[in-house]
Copies of this chain bind each other. A is one copy, B any other.
């Protein structure tokens, strides 16, 4: 079974938390791994169907008395095996695409004012992100008292925090540098 999309192990991983619908999975992913791994409905639903076909999940149709249409998926033993196999494969790095850096790379061809605007916006986004991490942290810390799993979630949170902080510091440095460049040659462009 070599042709499962990358979304497959992700969904299997989340389904170890308990049976869920595609809709639930989307919400749970958005609330946890969004900053380093996200999935859209366009990937989730087709992947669930393929997981079902391969017997890696089961589907129960919750449509009894008054319940609305809802497909709840549960991981099977074969699904757990597949997940474990995936966890044994060394992860690969994929270079990100950071559009602001690309524009800044060609920054000589735009006004410093514009570049400053972009960096300021970026900084504001990072600050928001860092704040969200700050809200999440105490919840995870409390949860990790009696459970081992949240300690791993905290590691990924820490990654976000550290990189956010580094990027914010970078913004400040670059904003100073851009202000300098603007001073040197204020009538340019």
The number of residues on chain A lying at the interface, defined by a beta carbon within 8 Å of a beta carbon of chain B, is 62
State the oligomeric state as a number of copies.
Answer: 2
Task: Choose one: B92, B94, B174; the contact of A158 (CB below 8 Å).
Answer: B174
Within 8 A of B (CB), among A97-131: 97-110, 114, 117-118, 121-122, 125
Q: A162-B167, A173-B158 are in contact. Are A152 and B121 (CB under 8 A)?
A: no
Q: A83-B109, A96-B36, A181-B151 are in contact. Are A156 and B91 (CB under 8 A)?
A: no
Interface secondary structure of A, over-half rule: helix
Please state if A98 and B174 are interface contacts (CB–CB under 8 Å): no
Please state if A155 and B107 are interface contacts (CB–CB under 8 Å): yes
**In the complex, A99 Cα to B92 Cα: how many Å?**
6
Within 8 A of B (CB), among A33-56: 33-38
**Nearest chain B CB to A89 CB, angstrom units:** 9
Q: Could you write out 6 A-B pairs with CB less than 8 Å apart?
A: A36-B96, A88-B110, A90-B121, A91-B118, A96-B97, A163-B167
